Amino acid sequence: WSFGVCYLSLTLYNTFATQRESARTDVYRENKSYIEGTIRDLRELRVEYDKTDNVHKSVLKSLILHRSNELDYDRLPSDIRDFLKNLKEN
């Protein structure tokens, strides 16, 4: 009997904890400071991208595109949107 209660408790916890953490992550990603911090990081990465050689550009390009996938493009400044658009086209 106690094993069944423990098993049910763990199953319910795993189910609802995953959903709760997913919701917390979504809220965090919509946070203004997260968005501004990511934009700042993308600008810094753009400077590094412009300064680096061709060998390292592909690595930076992957990193930049990965980081930008988490953001809503409509909320990005135009300079970052243009930079990301150029990266995707090349």
- Ramachandran assignment for 9, one of left (phi > 0), alpha (psi -120 to 50 degrees), beta (any other): alpha
Which residues have CB under 8 Å from 77's CB, separation 6+?
A: 39
The answer to whether residue 64 scores a pLDDT higher than 60 is: yes
* CA–CA separation, 58 and 68 (whole Å): 15
- Please state whether the predicted TM-score (pTM) of the whole model is above 0.75: no
Asked if the model's pLDDT at residue 29 lies above 60, the reply is: no
* Residue bearing tokens 């970052």: 80
Beta strands (DSSP E) in 1-90 are none
pLDDT score of 32 more than 70:
yes
pLDDT at 8: 66
- pLDDT of 49 reads 92
Helix (H, G, I), strand (E, B) or coil at 31: coil
Q: What is the pLDDT of residue 74?
A: 83
- How confident is residue 68, by pLDDT bands cut at 50, 70 and 90? confident
